[in-house]
Amino acid sequence: MPPVFVVMAETDASLAAEIRGLLPELRTAVGDDRRVLVGFDRGGWSPALSKHTSASGFDVLTWRKGATEDITEEHFKEATYTDEHGELKTWMVADTLVDLPLATTKITGETLQIRQISRIVAASNGGTRQIHVLTTDRTMSVGEVVYRMASRWRQENQFRYARMHFALDPHDSYSSSDDKENRMVPEPAKAHAYQKVVAARKAHAEASAVADLNLLALKTPSAGTDEVIVTKCHAYPRHGTSMGSRNSLACC
């Protein structure tokens, strides 16, 4: 179906923030309190947004972002769905519930329990990998969840070609307005500096690990040795000798 309306956002606007702000307008457009499915890609990934969206009377449909543990194979079962053209589609999927930590988890321990639909797909290295779809809708069939998530590309293609057919990009006016002085924008140099910090932390961790291994090796007796004594060497002045100004090393 074609889009109901197009949203023109500020440069570098957060998709998650835009979705949160659009929910009241979507509710007005729907006109009643029925739950509406809101689908988006990983750009809008936010467990806090999913919780807010569900509490506002909408259901979320999105990809899970970031690395996570694989689902064991025993949970995978065959799921089917017949599309609008009468074509039967089949997948091997696992339907589970997962707990997503929220931003306040470290303080309150709060999490969001959400439905996760997992699939096994081919990987670029010739093996397989798992991909996960998240939704707050627990009534939709597994097959329909997978089909709807895959069909999101239709919406993106609609916008891609609508640029030409509906002239979304051309300016309706060549007038300009001043930008907000307090608008936050990404700083590329900050991202580059952060990568250096990450690299330094990694190097420090690796060096610490090597030092720990070396120290452990020193403290571990070799075969046939009953015990090992590790001593520290101290430098101190020798008094009462003809070489009183000379320092000596003693191990104790």
Give the tokens for residue 230: 């590790």
Q: Is the pTM of this model over 0.85?
A: no
Gyration radius (Cα) of the chain, Å: 30
Q: Which of 205, 63, 53, 212 is nearest to 145 (CA)?
A: 63
Give the tokens for residue 88: 């039967």
- Asked if 71 and 95 touch (Cβ cutoff 8 Å), the reply is no
Render pLDDT for 73-117 as a digit per residue (tens, 0 to 9).
999 999 999 998 999 999 999 999 999 988 766 677 789 999 999
Give the tokens for residue 39: 């689908």
Q: Measured between alpha carbons, how far is 76 from 96 in angstroms, rounded to an integer?
A: 10
Give the H or E element holding residue 119: strand 111-122
Render pLDDT for 20-66 as a digit per residue (tens, 0 to 9).
888 998 899 888 889 999 888 887 888 999 999 999 999 999 999 88
Per-residue confidence (pLDDT) for residue 247, from 0 to 100: 42
Domains parsed from the chain with CATH numbers = 15-165 (3.90.350.10)
Render pLDDT for 241-250 as a digit per residue (tens, 0 to 9).
444 444 444 4
* Full 3-state SS string of 179-234: CCCCCCCCCHHHHHHHHHHHHHHHHHHHHHHHHHHHHHHHHCCCCCCCCCCCCCEE
Per-residue confidence (pLDDT) for residue 238, from 0 to 100: 52
| Residue 14 neighbours by CB distance under 10 Å | 16
Render pLDDT for 197-231 as a digit per residue (tens, 0 to 9).
989 998 998 999 999 888 888 777 777 666 666 56
CB burial readout 158-183, b (16+ within 10 A) else e: eeeeeeeeeeeeeeeeeeeeeeeeee
